[in-house]
Amino acid sequence: MQMNINLTPQLEEMVRTKVSSGLYNSASEVVREALRLMEREDQVRAATLAQLRQDIQQGIDSGPGRPAAEVFDRLEAKYLDMARERDGR
């Protein structure tokens, strides 16, 4: 399928640079590679979003949270006890 596209001068220069570097044989190859990378990036983004949604739902399903002060007080007491045991007090 033949397609004509318009690029900004910066993108056009990027394509020319890629072709002149010898890494690509034509502008079409550069555009195809860019589209493949875009597709891969879209897949990674979609997978990341799906994982985030799953993590959020898991948090919601785990029940109500606890006040931070309660958690920190419990942890502080635990580690103070561990330090006392270590020091033989």
| Amino acid at residue number 53 | R
Chain-centre distance for alpha carbon 17: 29
pLDDT for res 37: 98
pLDDT per position as a tens digit, 44-77: 999 999 999 999 999 999 999 899 999 999 999 9
The two three-digit tokens of residue 72, written as one number: 């920190």
Q: Per-residue confidence at 87, pLDDT binned at 50, 70, 90?
A: confident
State whether residue 62 is helix, strand or coil: coil
DSSP 20-55: HTTS-SSHHHHHHHHHHHHHHHHHHHHHHHHHHHHH
Percent of the chain having pLDDT more than 90? 89
- pTM greater than 0.85 (yes/no): no
Question: Is the pLDDT confidence value at 89 over 80?
Answer: no
Contact 18, 24 (CB under 8 A): yes
